[in-house]
Each structure stands twice: as C-alpha cells, then as structure tokens.
Structure 1
Amino acid sequence: MGFHKSSMDIHLKDRHVLCAYCKRPSGEATYSELDLDSILGAVKGKFKWSAENFSGSASDVTLEQDGPEHNPILRARLDSGNGPQEDVVNLADCIKNEDGKLKYMDCF
C-alpha cells in the first residue's frame, strides 16, 4: 500500500523534500520528511529510482495528488541533454509509510 493512503498533508519542501504526517499503527500521526534527492535521479530527461539529485537538473517541480486513488505524482521538467522535457513519477510506487516514517523501498 502506498504511503499516501495512510498519510495526510503531503507536500514538497524546497522542491525535493517529501513531507507528510504519517499514521502509526496506534493511530497517531507523526511528521516525517524524506529527501527525494537521495533516492531519485534524472537520466536523459526521465526520473530514475535508486539514483540521486533529480532536483539538480529539474525545473517546474510540482507534487499533485492525481486520479481516484489520489496518487502522489511528482512532475518536473528534466534536462535531457537536448533541452528540458517533462516527466512524471508516482511516488507511491517506491515510498511507504513504515511506523509513521516515510521510507524508500527498492522497487525496480
């Protein structure tokens, strides 16, 4: 299950830090941050998991909750080597809420 289903007030800080209040099994919510630059990179204008520093080549970075599942979609214009191109990534694919903390899980 993606972190967004057990979290609230999901937002970005400084264009690359994912922030949320994540529910713990006890029901209480705790504030958590995860620096996406430590787990998400950009290669040839595309997001890449298990890489680093996507924000170094990104512009127009936004986080939206999209679709009926309210998936947390990170959108940015990334340098492709031939100019910027837009790409998106569903953060719920590889980030989970583990006991009230945002955690990266190897997923690809």
Structure 2
Amino acid sequence: MGFHKSSMDIQLKNNHVLSAYCRRPTGEATYSELDLNRFLGTKKGRFAWSAENFADNAAGVDLRLEGPTHEPILHAQLNDGTGGCREDKVNLADCIKNEDGHLRYMDCF
C-alpha cells in the first residue's frame, strides 16, 4: 500500500525532500521526511528509481495529489543529456511506504 493512504499533509520541501505526517499502527501520526535525492535520479530525461540526485537535473519540480485516490505524482522538466528538457512524472507511492510512521524507500523495480 502506498504511503499516501496512511499519511496526511504530504508536501515537497526544497524540491527534493518529501514530508508527511504518517499514521502508525497505534493510530497516532508522526512527522517524517525522506530525501528523494537518495533514491530517485534521472536517465535521458526520465525519472529513474535506484538512482540519485534527480533535483540536480530538474526544473519546475511539483508534487501533485492526483486522481480519486490522491496519488502523489512528482512532475518536473528533466535535462535529457543533450541540452534539452523533457517533462516527466513519477508516482512516489510506487516505491515509498509508510513503515510504522516513517517514510521509507523500498526497492520496487
């Protein structure tokens, strides 16, 4: 289950730090942050999990909660390595979970 289903006040700070209040099994919520630059990078103008430092190659970074289930979608213009930019997006819920009130990256691909 994606972290967004058990978290609230989901935000992006400094274009690369995901923050949220994550519900624990006891019902209480704790504040948690996760630096996406540690797990998310780019390859040829596309987001890439298990890479690093996507923010170094990104402009117009924006986190939006989309669709009926409020999926956390990260949008950005990414350097494609040839001097151009390409718009891409990634669903953060694919690889980030709420583990006992803490945002955690999980190998997903």
TM score, norm. by length of structure 2: 0.98
Letter in 2 for 1:47: F
For residues 29 and 98 of structure 1, the distance between their equivalents in structure 2, rounded to whole angstroms, comes to 12
Unaligned runs of 5+ in 1: none
* Counterparts of 1:89 and 1:58, CA distance in 2: 13
Q: Does 1:6 align with 2:6?
A: yes
Aligned to 2:51: 51
* Structure 2: 5+ residue stretches without partners: none
Is the counterpart of residue 41 in structure 1 residue 13 in structure 2?
no
Flag as ranges the 4+ runs of structure 1 deviating above 2 A.
Answer: none
Does the residue aligned with 1:21 lie in a helix, a strand or coil?
strand
Classify the secondary structure of the residue corresponding to 2:65: strand
Aligned residue identity for 1:60: G
1:92 is matched with 93
Partner of 1:27: 27
Identity percentage over the alignment? 69
Distance 1:58 1:11 in 2: 17
Q: Distance in 2 between matches of 1:41 and 1:35?
A: 12
Tell me the TM-score normalized by structure 1: 0.99
Alpha-carbon shift at residue 55 of structure 1 (Å): 0.2
Equivalent residues, number: 108
Q: Which residue of 2 aligns with 1:75?
A: 75
